[in-house]
Amino acid sequence: MSGSGWFEPSRPIRVEGGIRARSKRGSIGERWWSRRFIDILESICDGGRLGRGRSYARSGQVLDLELGPGRVTARVQGSRSTPYKVKIGITAYDADQWHRLAGALAAQALYRAKLLAGEMPPEIEDVFHGCGLPLFPDQRGLDLDCSCPDWGFPCKHLSAVLYILAESFDDDPFLILAWRGMAKDALLDALRATGGTEDDGDGAAAQPRLFDVADVPFADRLADFYDPGSSHARLRDRTGLPSTSPGLLLRALDPPPITARNIPILDLLRPAYRTLSESDDV
């Protein structure tokens, strides 16, 4: 230890019952949203401290972690007897901003369906950026603080908490949205409430969506149960559909582990999907 007392020894005090990262080697984060978070961190943070933070995360040095709107707090055991206190802050969006976000998400049928099914569509980032509100924080959007004397960005204690946070996103992607200020149940309620109509933005009467069908009790439908709820002409009318990229389906599904001449099958399918989307006969 330095004679000034400002730097702790390299070996932390081992603890029992800490939060231990599942990943034993290599990268941390299994799903696209946690990997996206980690990729951002690794692009803006010191690689050496992140490496030491991974070691802390894998050895269970993070004692606890609590997430709330705009903040994450945790305690990390270093080499000193008193654990260090870690705080990670981002901007939590207010009610008006979340009203805009929920409306934009509900306007995209596929995204809304995936969220209601507990999934996180990759295109959700585009929806956030379209509203001028980033989903993931960059360096300027992160407020990092640790009670240790290391002035590095970030210190290994903060790094450990960031990696544990990424793995918690693996388990529940809605924690990312809760960090931004919207709890899962509140968002799903908002999507259900706004999912049935198109709002023109000026308070005018809402119009039904393309595939909306009235919910009628079964006993009242015995005579016409097998009749279509929407006319064939309405189903053929695609003017009410949201615009989507031709490769949306390819991004929505997990990529198959198939290659042709060492080229991933998705790379071969994308041009075909673009060609099909340009045809007026489809």
pLDDT tens digits, residue range 144-192? Answer: 999 998 877 789 999 999 999 999 998 899 999 999 999 999 999 888 8
Within-domain flag for 228: no
Query: What pLDDT shows up at residue 233?
Result: 60
Within-domain flag for 236: no
Within-domain flag for 153: yes
DSSP H or E segment with residue 75: strand 71-76
Q: CA end-to-end span of the chain, whole Å?
A: 71
DSSP state, 220? G
> Which of 173, 207, 187, 180 shows the shortest CA–CA distance to 112?
187
Within-domain flag for 11: no
Across 134-138, 216-220, 240-244, which has the greatest mean pLDDT? 134-138
Domain tally, the chain: 1
Within-domain flag for 227: no
CA torsion sign, 101 to 103 to 108 to 111?
A: positive
Rounded-to-integer distance, Cα 48 and Cα 156, Å? 9
Q: Which residue has the tokens 């009628």?
A: 216
Residue 102's domain spans which residues? 32-190
Within-domain flag for 60: yes
Within-domain flag for 276: no
Across 23-37, 98-112, 198-212, which has the greatest mean pLDDT? 98-112
> Which of 55, 73, 97, 58 shows the shortest CA–CA distance to 182?
97
Give 211's pLDDT tier (boundaries 50, 70, 90).
very low
> Which of 124, 133, 132, 129 shows the shortest CA–CA distance to 105?
124
Residue 259's CB is within 10 A of a number of other CB atoms, namely: 12
Within-domain flag for 18: no
